[in-house]
Structure 1
Amino acid sequence: MTKQLTTAQLAKYLDHTNLKPDATEASIRQTCEEAIKYNTASVCINSHWIPLAAELLKDTTVKPITVVGFPLGATNTETKVYEAITAIDDGAEEIDMVLNVGELIGDNLDYVTADIQAVAEAVHAKNKMLKVIFETSFLNDDQIVKACHASENAGADYVKTSTGFSSEGATLHNVELMRKTVGSKLGVKASGGIHSREEALAMIGAGASRLGVSATTKILS
């Protein structure tokens, strides 16, 4: 069922995202200005830009957040932990980490869980929040369910569909499956391929509690 929200309410579901590899300081400043204008939940950017975003957003309710192990998830756990801690020390308020997709597909759930748990513990020690990106385009339903359980067991706060850099972004089916699996225990972030207000509302209706979008201005205007 599509949920109806005011523009101001919808804005607080949005992580206004600019993870482009060719993002410049000017484009990051513009992203932050747009987020402030609409009062989104956050600005999601690569960690290099976190100090700048933290400065630009310091007198607002918009949070600077970043990604680690991005976009492949195949860096080692120690690297992900270091990335997360450094980003938080630079001003990041939330961390979106990519789980090790290959280890998940290989059914090495002990590794997947330990990888997430190490980052979760580091993030929570700084009193911040962790989201876990699955990259659902590579996964079947059973693997998505396993990823949800691993994330929950590891102490993550959110599960997230996609990086936006693979062949498919969020789908209503996957968001519904993730919400059904985690219940009310974790948040669900739909990310990738959400381009319109209708699509955004449909994702929220399917169970998403946060949306990663770059088309924020189009969705809210």
Structure 2
Amino acid sequence: MDVNEILRHVDHTLLSQTAVWEEIRQICDDAVAYRTASVCIPPSFVRQACDYLNGKAAVCTVVGFPNGYTTTAAKEFETKDAIKNGASEIDMVINIGWLKDGKYDLIENEIRTLKEACGENILKVIIETCLLTDEEKVKMCQIVTEAGAEYIKTSTGFAGGGATFEDVKLFSEHVGPDVKIKAAGGISSLEDAEKFLELGADRLGTSRIVKLVKDMK
């Protein structure tokens, strides 16, 4: 697979707690130079990044991140605030405790609420696969499909595990036809990136792919 094709699917990501503007500015520059799908950055940098990019790259941010157990009202406010500040893509974290408790209606309602807050902007639903059973992953494929989000996403990268080939394959077998897949967390080689795309992922959340391409050049 052509390297430029891989880059086109990358959400170039920096979500470190210690991230500073100079680092955010650099990944914005990289996103423009390497034509990635977006930059994925902390909410507090969204307005500054959008002003800096001036439409040259899409800005993605996170909601309920990384643990997912804030209230739906809090996540809705975060979503609306991010959209107002210029974000065009939102990556939300589900309430994993609700999933473990079988409170599927609450999860679906939350996703629907955030999708309504997003409007025409993209909503990706992080389910944190490393904390789930296969049955729970399949159930979330069904809920995300029913709730109308554009993407199901594997991981935050903050829970001790990231994307696996097995999980992306499982997603591809159980999501609806209108739901895309984002693999995130631990994608560290071009070979792995290509394999995730071949298995059905449409987006790759990673900080490393652009660095690898830069090193190649």
Q: Is 1:25 paired with 2:21?
A: yes
TM-score (norm 1): 0.94
The aligned counterpart of 1:121 is 116
Q: Is 1:56 paired with 2:49?
A: no
CA RMSD after TM alignment: 1.0
- Code of the residue aligned with 1:187 in structure 2: it is K
Give 4+ residue runs of structure 1 displaced > 4 Å after superposition. none
Partners of 2:135 and 2:158 lie apart in 1 by 22
| Superposition pairs of residues 34-113 of structure 1, within 5 angstroms | 34-60=30-56, 62-113=57-108
Partners of 1:197 and 1:52 lie apart in 2 by 30
1:211 to 183, 200, 204: 204
Partners of 2:58 and 2:3 lie apart in 1 by 18
- Name which of structure 1's ranges 6-15 and 131-140 shifts more when overlaid on structure 2: 6-15
Partners of 2:31 and 2:209 lie apart in 1 by 8
Unaligned runs of 5+ in 2: none
Which SS does the other structure have where 1:70 is aligned?
coil
Query: Does the 8 Å CA contact 1:196/1:218 hold for their aligned counterparts?
Result: no
| Superposition pairs of residues 132-147 of structure 1, within 5 angstroms | 132-147=125-140
Partners of 2:116 and 2:137 lie apart in 1 by 22
Partners of 2:99 and 2:106 lie apart in 1 by 8
Which SS does the other structure have where 2:59 is aligned?
strand
The aligned counterpart of 1:9 is 5
Partners of 1:180 and 1:24 lie apart in 2 by 39
Partners of 1:207 and 1:218 lie apart in 2 by 23
1:147 Cα deviation from its structure 2 partner:
0.8
The aligned counterpart of 1:189 is 182
Partners of 1:21 and 1:76 lie apart in 2 by 22
1:131 Cα deviation from its structure 2 partner:
0.4
What is the CA deviation profile of residues 73-103 of structure 1, one whole-angstrom value per residue up to 9, with x for unaligned ones?
1000011011001101101011000011111
- Code of the residue aligned with 1:41 in structure 2: it is A
Query: Does the 8 Å CA contact 1:43/1:65 hold for their aligned counterparts?
Result: yes
- Code of the residue aligned with 1:172 in structure 2: it is F
| Superposition pairs of residues 167-186 of structure 1, within 5 angstroms | 167-186=160-179
Query: Does the 8 Å CA contact 2:190/2:209 hold for their aligned counterparts?
Result: no
Identity level (%): 42
Query: Does the 8 Å CA contact 2:76/2:117 hold for their aligned counterparts?
Result: yes
Partners of 1:120 and 1:219 lie apart in 2 by 34
